[in-house]
Amino acid sequence: MQTNDQDGPGKTRPRRLLLCLDGVPHKIIERAKERGLFDYFGTPTRLLSPFPTMTNVALSAMFRATPPAGYESLYFDRNDRQLHGGVRKYLGRRTPDKIPSSYMDELDYQEPLAFEFLIYVAPETVWRTDMQRFHERFRAAPQTRDYFAFLKATDGLLHTQGPERLNVALESLDKILKDIRKFCGNETEIVMFSDHGMNLEKNRRISLVTHLRRKNFKVSAELKNGGRVVSIPAFGLCSYAAAYCGDEALIPEVAAAVIEIRGVDFVVYRSEGGVMLQSSRGCARLERSADNRYCYAPTIGDPLELKPAMESLRTEGKIDAQGFASIDDWFEKTSRHRYPNAVVNIHKSISTPRVQHTADVLISMDDGYYYGWSPFGKFVNLLATHGNALASSSNAFMMSTHRELPAVIVADGARPWLRG
């Protein structure tokens, strides 16, 4: 955590409470403010979560922390070519092997380890206990330094109970934060934000494993003997999946098979120095130049529906003859797209270490579909989920009691607004 030095809280800026609400979409906070909640905050900005839109991926980007081993607790380890983690993460106490990223070293408050799983079993009890526990811990903390709290119960409420029950929890949180403001005075800025958004509709499971087996692939927990073997971690009920292939030559074939499945939006994988994206709407290559400019080059159709943005960039002279434009120009044209910041975000999902063990094929599903652990899906009525590259999951939020923020912030650029 931040020390009390000459540039710290209370010296050049107010002390800061950073409060992350897991999985709360931008539009839910907008509606909460329209109802009169959180009226002491400024306008909520859209905070764009990176694809796959998962907690540890997003928060490690926002805090410029170490990448997690995988996208979820159950992940594929490339070093010994088999699955690691899973339910065992939630047993016992938090030990170093259960801390996915260095951003967790900055946390002053997080739920007890068991709450991460129990929120899906007993959501009402857990969210009330979690919020009260946070309130008590914050009031007891030193008032001379920043405080970073992460409330995970909001994610579980949306997954299993939907927006109505989350709204009840937000009303309780509003009362808690008003009490904190009375307790701390104007000397403490509250920055509230989320890690990713959520699609707010009932979801059904895609037949990913069944379909691949029909295509003569073996789906396994390990890839040690070669052959037509694929490993696809199945844990949380999310709208993305990560596939790892036993042989590099299988990657295009696996990608082509997956896009045949109902509910799959697109797949993306590395190809000849670039990134290939395929969907039922066509194919495109995403490329990055040596001077960090990006290109979207459709080969069949327009799978990301970006041709209008490209034409606008071309008209304004912001795209070169090879189709490359700057990160800022792509952001300006696509930050409000149905795939927010699509070209840069999706390219980075497979070309940069957002996790330590990057997938061979990343799968983004349509809203209304998910993949995950089958036993988990049998006792959870999934009313909302996240993980894909669409706006519903990508649009998180950030707002402050003291500062007006830019209209849109990308996760990789969030740290100055959180820690600056």
Q: What is the pLDDT of residues 294-309, one digit of tens each?
A: 999 999 999 999 999 9
b/e code 36-61 from CB counts within 10 Å (16+ = b): ebbeebeebbbbbbbbbbbbbbbbbb
- DSSP string across 343-358: HHHHHHHHHS-SSSS-
Distance CA 342, CA 199 (A): 18
CB atoms within 10 A of CB 191: 22
pLDDT at 167: 95
Distance CA 348, CA 295 (A): 13
- Residue 298: is the preceding peptide bond cis (ω within 30°)? no
Q: Where are the beta strands (DSSP E) in 78-201?
A: 82-85, 109-110, 147-151, 188-193
What number of residues does the chain have?
420
pLDDT at 63: 97
The continuous run of DSSP H or E covering 218 comes out as: strand 218-219
Helix axes 327-334, 342-351, angle to 10 degrees: 120
CB-count burial class (<10 Å; 0-12, 13-18, 19+) for 414: buried
Q: What angle do CA 152, 158, 164 make, to 5 degrees?
A: 125
Q: What is the pLDDT along the chain (420 residues), one digit of tens a residue?
A: 444 445 557 667 899 999 999 999 999 999 999 999 999 999 999 999 999 999 999 999 999 999 999 999 999 999 999 999 876 665 555 556 656 889 999 999 998 776 666 777 777 788 889 999 999 999 999 988 999 999 998 998 999 889 999 999 999 999 999 999 999 988 999 999 999 999 999 999 999 999 999 999 999 999 988 789 999 999 989 999 999 999 999 999 999 999 999 999 999 999 988 999 999 999 999 999 999 999 999 999 999 999 999 999 999 999 999 999 999 999 999 999 999 999 999 999 999 999 999 999 999 999 999 999 877 666 678 899 999 999 999 999 999 999 999 999 999 999 999 998
- DSSP string across 119-147: TTTSHHHHHHHHHHHHHHHHHHS-TTS-E
HEC sequence for 15-75: EEEEEEECCCCHHHHHHHHHCCCCCCCCCCEEEECCCCCCHHHHHHHHCCCCCCCCCCCEE
pTM for this prediction? 0.93
Torsion 38-44-50-52 (CA) sign: positive
pLDDT at 362: 98
Q: Which residues lie across from 17 on neighbouring strands?
A: 147, 190
**Residue of 239, 289, 249 whose CA lies nearest to 269:** 249
The two structure tokens encoding residue 418? 């959180």
Domains and CATH numbers, the chain: 15-66+101-200+388-419 (3.40.720.10), 204-379 (no CATH)
pLDDT at 3: 45
Q: Which residues lie across from 149 on neighbouring strands?
A: 19, 109
